A and B are shown apart, each in its own frame.
Chain A
Amino acid sequence: MLLREVEYAKPESVAEALELLAANDGARALAGGQTLVNVMKARAASPDMLVDLNGLEELKGIELAGDGTLSIGAMTTYSELMSSAEAKARPILGEVAATIADVQVRNRGTIGGNVCSNDPTNHLPPLMVAVGARMTIVGAGGEREVAAEEFFLGVYLTAVGPGELLTRISIPAGKKDGFAAVTLGAEGTCICNAAASVNGAVRVALGCVDAVPVVLTAESPEEVADAVRAASLMPPSDVHASSEYRIHLAEVLATRAAQEAAGR
């Protein structure tokens, strides 16, 4: 497929990337490209300039602090997340990354790209919300940190504004997490998914049922289904599932994710 004409820039630092994004209204950051290049083929996105973030060391690497907090560079690929010794501080991260698409996509696709595209069917937005991730965003105005719950604003929309970049994701240590999904094919697009984390109470984030992850809390995994019903979800219907069926899946998957989390 021949893409629409586009300029290409390969900055050598985050500062240079920010300048390029700020100076060009039609510029888009190019992360792993496993979504963006495809939507450009379909002309669903037609940026005038791609600012390639590949090769920026500042956006790479997974660091483990003394208290177990992980700091993950936005350009960390799914494959790097799966094989990282540090990322084992929060085992669910590598486990979920291993179920995204296929080897080739996992080799290029990035954690930052996944959350910034914020497709409601993506795996990582609900997972980031469930594990209490914090996102570091930089722009001309400096650096700020946003909780995952406030990061996802709408379909394809996040707190990362024009001229800004997500640089790192900070995740506290923990093992009591779960994830459950019904997908198209073994490891395909999610029809509905749920991520859960147990830390005293159960915290569940549901994907595919609204524009942004829906957060619920319950005292125990047994009470999660009631919490889903009380949330009065109104998910969309499509060729894969009716709204009613997605509500049913949300109950089942939230319970499965919570049980998995509580059982670890």
Chain B
Amino acid sequence: MDATVTVNGTTYERDVEPRKLLIHFLRDDLDLTGSHIGCDTGNCGACSVILDGVLVKSCMLLAVQANGANIETVEGLSEDGELTPLQQAFNEHHALQCGYCTPGMLMSATALLRENPSPSEDEIKRGLQGNICRCTGYWNIVEAVKSVAK
């Protein structure tokens, strides 16, 4: 099936098999490998992307369902090589250990801060509830998000 998807401002037209999950389309067809596959069961959130302004797990969506949609992935966060304040805060607070969950954490925190620029610590934790860090490095991730909360 033909699908037209805009990812990080670039529009792609591709022939997609209906059975292909959005995460595979992003990684394999568009070569945008920033979004990770952690569990492939919808639990870990490493594949989180923002679809038409809504945070979703891209392993629980077919690529064809994104036809006509505007998608933001971790590759689209920084502009002209400049890290966003959130990305910078992850760096400064050592908010990653192995880094595998980081793309998903960044997308979830980005979506949270757009909706609520001043989240409490509890709201940050709830906002990141769908993202698992198997290094268990949650403390510094929450500290990083807190540091950019207004």
Contacts and interface: CB of A to CB of B under 8 A. Distances in A.
B61 A33 contact: yes
Give the interface size class of chain A. Answer: 20 to 34
A24 to B, nearest CB: 14
B108 A1 contact: no
A31 to B, nearest CB: 12
Contact of B55 (A34, A52, A104): A104
A101 interface: yes
A61 to B, nearest CB: 17
A103 B64 contact: no
B40 A104 contact: no
A38 B41 contact: yes
A76 B1 CA distance: 27
Given A41-B40, A52-B65, A102-B130, A107 B56 contact: yes
B69 to A, nearest CB: 11
Contact of A5 (B1, B19, B57, B61): B19
A105 B85 CA distance: 27
A45 interface: no
A2 B56 CA distance: 19
Contact of B56 (A38, A52, A108): A108
Contacts of B1: 8
B62 interface: yes
Count chain B CB atoms within 10 A of each CB in A38, A52, A108 and give the residue with the most: A108
Nearest to A34: B60
A3 B21 contact: yes
Contacts of A186: 129
Interface in A6-38: 6-8, 10, 33-34, 37-38
A29 B86 CA distance: 39
A3 B23 CA distance: 13
B42 A34 contact: yes
B98 interface: no
Contacts of B19: 2-6
Given A37-B60, A102-B129, A50 B18 contact: yes
A58 B56 CA distance: 23
Nearest to B17: A5
B124 to A, nearest CB: 12
Contacts of B41: 38, 41
A43 to B, nearest CB: 12
Contacts of A104: 45, 48, 55-57, 60, 108, 130
Contacts of A54: 65
Interface in A65-79: 79
Nearest to B23: A1
Interface in B116-144: 126-127, 129-131
Nearest to A37: B60
Contact of B60 (A6, A7, A33): A33
B121 to A, nearest CB: 15
A150 interface: no
The 7 closest A-B pairs by CB, nearest first: A102-B130, A8-B18, A3-B19, A102-B129, A104-B130, A104-B57, A37-B60
Given A37-B59, A104-B60, A186-B129, 8 more contacts: A5-B19, A34-B60, A37-B60, A38-B60, A103-B111, A103-B112, A104-B56, A104-B108
Interface of A: 1-8, 10, 33-34, 37-38, 41, 50, 52, 54, 79, 101-105, 107-108, 186-187
Interface of B: 1, 17-21, 24, 40-42, 45, 48, 54-57, 59-62, 64-65, 67, 108, 111-112, 126-127, 129-131
10 contacts: A3-B20, A6-B19, A33-B65, A37-B59, A102-B130, A103-B129, A104-B60, A104-B108, A107-B54, A107-B56
